[in-house]
Structure 1
Amino acid sequence: MPSRFVVSTLAAVLWVTSPPGLQAQVNLPTLGDSVSQDLDVGAERRFGDQIMRQIRPDPDFIDDPILLEYVQNIWAPLVAAGVRLGNISDETRDRFAWEIFLVRDKSVNAFALPGGFVGVHLGLIAMTVSRDELASVLGHEMSHVTQRHIARRIAGDSRNNLLATAAMIAGLIVAARSGSIDGANAAIVGSQAAAAAASLSFSRDMEREADRVGFNVMSQAGFAPAGMLSMFERMEQAYHLMDAGNYPYLRSHPLTSERIGDARTRLGTEAFVRPLGLAEHALMAARARVLMDPRAEAWAQLQNLDAGVRDTSTKAGGKGFEQLGARYAAALASIKMRDFGRAENALRSAELTLDLLGEDARARRDLRYLRAELAQAKGQAADGFAALAPLAGERSRALLLQRAQLAMVDSTGLASARQVAEDLQTYVSLVPHDAGAWAQLAQLWDRLQQPLRAVRAQGEVRAAMGDLNGAIDRLRSGLRQSGGRDADQIEAAVIDSRLRALTYERRQLLAELYPRGAPPGAELP
């Protein structure tokens, strides 16, 4: 898929990094202490925002509320640990985004971008067996940001500048969308682009520092250090897949016996601690497996993933958790294929498997959400709301968005849609940059025949994605609609205020891009 190609190419050319490793010494000075002032924190964040404006509209930029929430729950403790350890300074804590996002791609990969953005391929989540393994990779990637490795690589070559590198990224995206491999190659081998690609690869010392700092961060965050070693061993076993292109992590920075030995040495004689949250992780890894490949033939195979795993009597070696994940994957794939009978059977099997494994509140919650998804796909909103009823006390984003999707298929009236819309409106007033929430809200207001609110929400979707041009166009359209006699004048005033604010923001960004004055008709990239 072209969109999958672009993110993989971005990672390969710019910031793909190796799996986490360990070093024996833990109190070494950090390279980030002497980072060049040629790229300050503010400039790095603006550069990252510029890249994200290109990435967010990509179809393979995935906002799956359930899976994203799970990854964020691993990411947040890592960031908090970085603050406690002093790796994240007051300045970078306030100025950087510290945002993690998902990429629909079945390759095992993750990458760091300037300004505190970290992308995670669904293939990486799918191949891990514990949250500790996933945390080890995220901690490594975060350390590339905290130690200012990206800034050092950009500032290390005076021939390159931010706009040249951003132009290369934009060129890759355009070429990828057109399906032109030649166009992508041309973007890379251009004089400035080739220099940027050469200068932005991490040095061996930087990789070692990310290994060391990442280990300390994940340990401080409460994750089992053994997760790093098990991640190494898992990827070492999969090394033979490298030639098929499935392991760009390994291709870019091959695992060495020295790094794997360092991991074992660091753990020493530490007693093995059973990983926590295995049931929940098994479900989320299964979810990633289904979502990472949207082809019908891939889903058809996953529908039968649980065939032959009927014995749930043993938990040894994680067998029961593997069965749990297989049944979840079969149920979700069947929902995607609209084979509702098969989905119901697989979901019931998953629920019974969890009963045998022992109660896990987080895993039980995930199965409730899956049952709500099944009800939504069948158009049975009442069943979906009933499945979510035990979760009514929580105010999570995942719950709000799942209720919004149920409200859209509720044929019993508009009462549920209105209540959900009001709840979601309250949420976006507190979290105004949530494009996914605004998109759901736009659909709800449209169903409730509130055209100005719907148009305003559509504009906010574009603004949250960084598309100020598109946001301004939508809000201007809303103002034109507000001239009618029955128009909501309060909402019209809100639209007018937001339009002024976004127009000013665009003017400021254009001033940064064109310090000598923007040419007539200049638009943001």
Structure 2
Amino acid sequence: MFNRIIFLVMLFLVAVSAPLSRASANNMSMIRDAEVENTIRAYATPLLEVAGIDPQSVSIYLVKDNRLNAFVAGGLNVFFNTGLLMRAEAPEQVIGVLAHEIGHMAGGHLSRLHDAAGRATAESIVAMVLGAAATMATGRGDVGAAVIMGGQHAAQRNFLSHTRAQESAADQAAVNYLDATGQSARGLLRFMEILEGQDLLQTERQDPYVRTHPLTRDRIDFLRAHVARSPHSDAPSRPGYEEMHERMRAKLYAFLESPVRTLRRYPETDTSFVARYAQAIAYYRRPDLGRAIPLIDELIAERPEDPYLHELKGQMLFENGRAEEALAPYREAVRLLPHPLLQISLAQVQIELGTPDMLEEARQNLSNALKIEGDNGFAWRLYATALGRLGEEGLAAYAMAEHALLGQRLPEAAYYANRAEQLLPQSSPTWLRTQDIKAETERLRENQKR
């Protein structure tokens, strides 16, 4: 859902680029989009399975940054810069990078973060983690930056850097995973060749991937030798992967670049599906719904079972004050794909319409979404709104307490938790959760005093 670009200060991003400053903190951001996230997850799932990692335990994050970078951090979390996704020439390049990063994950290379924690004070790490949570909950980068700046020290640039030995081990794991899934390692080799010339650049001009993943001639020679002997080197892309990749690139480009640049890259003379998809987004962003809506309707007529097309139409209409018209396409998107981000968008439309039936449906959609996205502050705020309008004051107070805690607004979290405690049936599951919120709020308050 690119209509909600969530500015998020990330501990890990700061660590791989430069020592933390207020300027750099405010420039870090993340985006959410069901189609892009699901595309990467489709690429990752076979690799994770052969690596012995449960795909459902891995989270995928999209970092709004034009530079080439991808990394794993903080456990089973994979981060991709939008710049890498847009510049990747084929799905095999993204898949190769994924295989390498999963090699770091499976190899336990993240354990070196414990050593890094000894160099960066615990207070600074806690502050940055809290800042990330605060920004996700509020959608405001300045809130997260303010929390982070309260830390006593900044994590250093090499916080996530890997050693050459770890890089070689991850490369070996990557080609093993690719062979095991019958996929070519040419994409990973091509990505490394793209980065090879950056070794001669000044550090500040290098892409972050080069600085945190040491690139050596031995590594490239290893990949070339593997490609030369692997029986899978000429394997074609899996069915559907190439279009998924081109759609992902077109969507990212159309939302993150100006409409003028998008229409230059995907001109009207190009009548392919992917080009018209990008054109529809560009016209919607101008905004020119007179051109955008007919284009998206044309695409939907060709592929009526595509949930992302219905989602895009709903977004176009809702953001232009046409909530009633947006309801049907959002409902169809959720019917086709009950993804939490789609459910949250549908619920927002239903709350805007505000009838009792709509509010009850919004409540159910948000309840379903929060089972998966329990750390989504925007969803908790919408949930509180729907519950409040339905007269469920105790549950609304509880939802506001969750929202405030995610945003690190501790007095507010304590207030709403106390109110929920008074209004909810004692010992009910939600009442018990309010006790957890109160305890966590108090713990965080004590930490702030130290």
TM (normalized to structure 2)? 0.74
Q: Aligned residue for 2:409?
A: 470
Q: SS state of the match for residue 236, structure 2? A: coil
In the alignment, the residues of structure 1 paired with residue 337 and residue 7 of structure 2 have an alpha-carbon distance, to the nearest angstrom, of: 39
User: Which of 73, 76, 79 is 1:119 aligned to?
Assistant: 79
Q: Aligned residue for 2:3?
A: none
User: Which of 339, 361, 377 is 2:288 aligned to?
Assistant: 339
Q: Aligned residue for 1:410?
A: 353
Q: Aligned residue for 2:419?
A: 480
Quote how far apart the aligned CAs of 1:351 are.
5.8
Q: Is 1:444 aligned to 2:386, yes or no?
A: yes
Quote how far apart the aligned CAs of 1:171 are.
12
The CA deviation string for residues 416-475 of structure 1, in whole angstroms up to 9 with x for no partner, is 332131232244356644545434423433454544433322322355x4x5x5367335
Q: Aligned residue for 1:308?
A: 267
For 1:98, the aligned partner's letter is V
1:494-509 pair list within 5 angstroms: 496-505=431-440
1:148-159 pair list within 5 angstroms: 148-152=108-112, 154-155=114-115
Q: Aligned residue for 1:250?
A: 210
Q: Aligned residue for 2:400?
A: 458
User: Which of 113, 119, 135 is 1:160 aligned to?
Assistant: 119
User: Which of 224, 237, 251 is 1:287 aligned to?
Assistant: 251
Quote how far apart the aligned CAs of 1:491 are.
9.6
Cα distance change, pair 80–201 in 1 and its aligned pair in 2 (3 A): same
User: Which of 264, 273, 276 is 2:236 aligned to?
Assistant: 273
Quote how far apart the aligned CAs of 1:203 are.
1.1
Cα distance change, pair 379–107 in 1 and its aligned pair in 2 (3 A): same
Q: Aligned residue for 2:50?
A: 81
In the alignment, the residues of structure 1 paired with residue 258 and residue 246 of structure 2 have an alpha-carbon distance, to the nearest angstrom, of: 18
In the alignment, the residues of structure 1 paired with residue 387 and residue 237 of structure 2 have an alpha-carbon distance, to the nearest angstrom, of: 48
2:414·2:438 contact (CA, 8 Å) conserved in 1? no
Greater mean alpha carbon deviation, residues 368-377 or residues 265-274: 265-274
Q: Could you say what the CA RMSD is over the residues aligned between the two structures, in angstroms?
A: 4.6
Count of matched residue pairs = 424
Q: SS state of the match for residue 448, structure 2? A: coil
The CA deviation string for residues 141-184 of structure 1, in whole angstroms up to 9 with x for no partner, is 232232122324644x896376266269579989x95999xx99
Quote how far apart the aligned CAs of 1:3 are.
6.1
In the alignment, the residues of structure 2 paired with residue 381 and residue 442 of structure 1 have an alpha-carbon distance, to the nearest angstrom, of: 20
In the alignment, the residues of structure 2 paired with residue 97 and residue 453 of structure 1 have an alpha-carbon distance, to the nearest angstrom, of: 29
Q: Aligned residue for 1:208?
A: 168
In the alignment, the residues of structure 1 paired with residue 356 and residue 206 of structure 2 have an alpha-carbon distance, to the nearest angstrom, of: 47
1:344-383 pair list within 5 angstroms: 344-347=293-296, 364-383=306-325
Quote how far apart the aligned CAs of 1:109 are.
1.2
Q: Is 1:428 aligned to 2:370, yes or no?
A: yes
Q: Aligned residue for 2:15?
A: 10
In the alignment, the residues of structure 2 paired with residue 136 and residue 206 of structure 1 have an alpha-carbon distance, to the nearest angstrom, of: 16
The CA deviation string for residues 387-409 of structure 1, in whole angstroms up to 9 with x for no partner, is 34376254332431232133234
The percent of aligned pairs where both chains have the same amino acid is 20
Greater mean alpha carbon deviation, residues 165-174 or residues 103-112: 165-174
Quote how far apart the aligned CAs of 1:206 are.
0.6
Unmatched segments (≥5 aa) in structure 2: 1-5, 20-24, 135-140
User: Which of 366, 373, 397 is 2:340 aligned to?
Assistant: 397
Q: SS state of the match for residue 119, structure 2? A: coil
Q: Aligned residue for 2:41?
A: 72
In the alignment, the residues of structure 2 paired with residue 286 and residue 246 of structure 1 have an alpha-carbon distance, to the nearest angstrom, of: 25
Cα distance change, pair 103–384 in 1 and its aligned pair in 2 (3 A): same
2:381·2:400 contact (CA, 8 Å) conserved in 1? yes
In the alignment, the residues of structure 2 paired with residue 107 and residue 440 of structure 1 have an alpha-carbon distance, to the nearest angstrom, of: 34
1:172·1:187 contact (CA, 8 Å) conserved in 2? no
1:123·1:289 contact (CA, 8 Å) conserved in 2? no
1:133·1:227 contact (CA, 8 Å) conserved in 2? yes
For 1:128, the aligned partner's letter is A
The CA deviation string for residues 50-90 of structure 1, in whole angstroms up to 9 with x for no partner, is xxxxx9x997233334433333343444333221xxxx5xx
Quote how far apart the aligned CAs of 1:125 are.
1.9
1:133·1:228 contact (CA, 8 Å) conserved in 2? yes
Q: SS state of the match for residue 67, structure 1? A: helix
Quote how far apart the aligned CAs of 1:273 are.
1.0
For 2:290, the aligned partner's letter is G
Q: Aligned residue for 2:22?
A: none
Q: Aligned residue for 1:49?
A: none
In the alignment, the residues of structure 2 paired with residue 74 and residue 248 of structure 1 have an alpha-carbon distance, to the nearest angstrom, of: 23
In the alignment, the residues of structure 2 paired with residue 242 and residue 223 of structure 1 have an alpha-carbon distance, to the nearest angstrom, of: 35
The CA deviation string for residues 236-270 of structure 1, in whole angstroms up to 9 with x for no partner, is 68999988847222355475554344333322364
Cα distance change, pair 167–441 in 1 and its aligned pair in 2 (3 A): closer
Q: SS state of the match for residue 304, structure 1? A: helix
In the alignment, the residues of structure 1 paired with residue 300 and residue 202 of structure 2 have an alpha-carbon distance, to the nearest angstrom, of: 36
Q: SS state of the match for residue 66, structure 2? A: coil
For 1:310, the aligned partner's letter is T
1:113·1:150 contact (CA, 8 Å) conserved in 2? yes
Q: Aligned residue for 1:329?
A: 278
1:442·1:458 contact (CA, 8 Å) conserved in 2? yes
2:266·2:279 contact (CA, 8 Å) conserved in 1? no
In the alignment, the residues of structure 2 paired with residue 168 and residue 477 of structure 1 have an alpha-carbon distance, to the nearest angstrom, of: 23
1:455·1:478 contact (CA, 8 Å) conserved in 2? yes
2:161·2:212 contact (CA, 8 Å) conserved in 1? no
In the alignment, the residues of structure 1 paired with residue 198 and residue 269 of structure 2 have an alpha-carbon distance, to the nearest angstrom, of: 27
Unmatched segments (≥5 aa) in structure 1: 15-54, 313-319, 511-519
Q: Aligned residue for 2:138?
A: none
Cα distance change, pair 302–459 in 1 and its aligned pair in 2 (3 A): farther
Q: Is 1:142 aligned to 2:102, yes or no?
A: yes
